[in-house]
Structure 1
Amino acid sequence: MRATKGAQLRLKTYVMRHRAKDTKWKRTPENPSSQLVIIFIIFDWNVLTYLREPDKLSGSPLHFWVLALQEILFSWIDSKRTCFPFSTAHFADIYHGSSDLYDAKLQHLSQITDDWCLFEYPNPESELFLDRCVDIQAYFKICAEHMHSGSTESSEFLKNVQDNVAATLDGQAEEIPSEEWRTLILRLTTALRSQNMDNDTEILRINKAMRNAGPVGEDVQLDFPALSSSATSLDPVAFRASVDEAILNSSFPYRNSTEAIEGLLPYDLSTLPPFMRSLLEANVIVDLVGLSNEKLRKETAARSLHTDLQHLRYGLRTKFFITADEALLQRAKAISVWLDLPVIVFSIQEFVTLTVQVAKKQRPDGA
């Protein structure tokens, strides 16, 4: 999806800054008075995968919408006004797939994004900026080496926290009347002590099972904070109030979301950039009130959730974020409302439908 040379030169001088109520691109100091409105659209990896091989969806309702998205991207979109950048989150998706497909996937990523990549400035605010990736293969190799070294390192601090929690739970498990709950707690202590990274998924499964478990003892029910998915249609103030009410009415020892975040995050976030800190806090809230609905079928589900968070790290600071993953769609919408972000989160069907509606309004005959 090649932008014109002039558009490429103009785009390269733009910097995107995140603000709570505003997301804009400003020209760098060489010419601060000149401005160009660019629409930035981020696709997560599953959308790019479907665009690469749409026929694999043949017979599925999604097949029609992916073909429609292809038509929009290659025939309707103004390349001078639109950019589809990638980020290192896309590299993570490629890296964790088959190495035999690295080259083909990188070539596809290059074609869709025209090699434009979102980076974070190494400053306290971690502002986003856009630049052209000169050699996508070489850049991927550097990132892959970093991801490999990072995946082999364990956090000693987090391990100590998990060991302490496991020891406490072991001491309490025998006093719980419910066999169902004793079994879940013993599963949890085993997973917490394990050095196997895949047990992160087991911990998530146990948490999900606990939300649906029966009484802990006779007439003793553990009530988790719970909101329906419709809560994400509320305005940010009403949404936050609903979250606080759900927490207050639960069995958890927190009076509001602020106390819950402080109690549930096991490490200090003050050293993180402001947006990443806010994103992690919002992610905790989404899980706490049951607005996450991942299936957790694969052993790599926890790793996928981490990569999803990286997609949100970039995608929620652009104008449009589009995903074909229903669970990620729900999570992204909830987080964007919680943080009161100007991003619009779409499924493929929602994005195609809106684009067609806008195109019809712009036609003189309205057809």
Structure 2
Amino acid sequence: MKKYKITVFGAGSWGSVLAHVLAENGHEVHLWTRNADQADEINHQHTNKKYLTDVQLSADLKVTNDLDQALEASDIYLLVIPTMGIRDLVREINEKIKSKKLFIHASKGLEQKSHKRISTIIKEEIDADKLEDVVVLSGPSHAEEVIKRDLTTVTAASENVESRKLVQEIFMNSYFRVYTNSDLAGVELGGALKNIIALGSGITVGLGYGDNARAALITRGLAEITRFGLCFGAQESTFMGLSGVGDLVVTGMSTHSRNFKCGYYIGQGMTPEEAVEKVGMVVEGFYTTKAVYEIAQEKNIDMPITNAIYQIITNQVEAKNASLDLMKREGKEEA
């Protein structure tokens, strides 16, 4: 396998672990963080204790808080930062780079004000003569399990077959398997919207409901995600795959998920604001719910679960009452 020079932007749990995977695969990996103390810790102790407990990262990782240095090091850029920070970072990158770069992103969300997907933001902010392509890496993957080399499968999506195959090549190994997909919109929307349903799943468990309720929520949540995606040109089959049902199941069923945790705390009686604070990291589903609710209202897309979660996190209704309201809706055909 050919070795590449790759810069990973974002040293949270997922960014650090993806950088670790790439380093284990033999690539020259530079990890960028704005936090000088964090860079020093990873460089010298090979740990990232704020985000990953009892984890030893590859000693081959080269970490910097100098953006110019990070940009100069590679021709492939992997963005793994919260959605709310993507546009500002990409705009800053565009001002500094002089040649074409391949952009990969592994973030899952929609921009708040514009409601745009991350690939759209990148294409808007990077000049055409500086952009090789955009690929999204998404699927059922907890950083805490990947770092242990638990078997994981994800999807690399791009409209360009060579670009998605390249991303497949640089990540593939014995424990991290990558499939390819041409449905960029579907993969991004599946990854973003599953966080809404994961919030709902956490709320359901926090309220004390069992497996029946959670299975119903996840199944009907998938129907909403698919309905939404089809309105924006996504392929229905994508939502039956890794970045759809796969990501939804792993995020909606696991305490590793910060979205699930946030929902659980709300179900237990915390205010939404208290729950987000207790999680201590960005809860993408909190922001995606608001964006998707606004889009659904504008486009008249039927999304009762999303509507209910929106009402809960905006303190319009208590979680228990929202769940009962969902159950008492008029009967419908399933399909």
- Pick the structure with greater CA Rg: 1
Taking structure 1 as the reference length, what is the TM-score of the superposition? 0.28
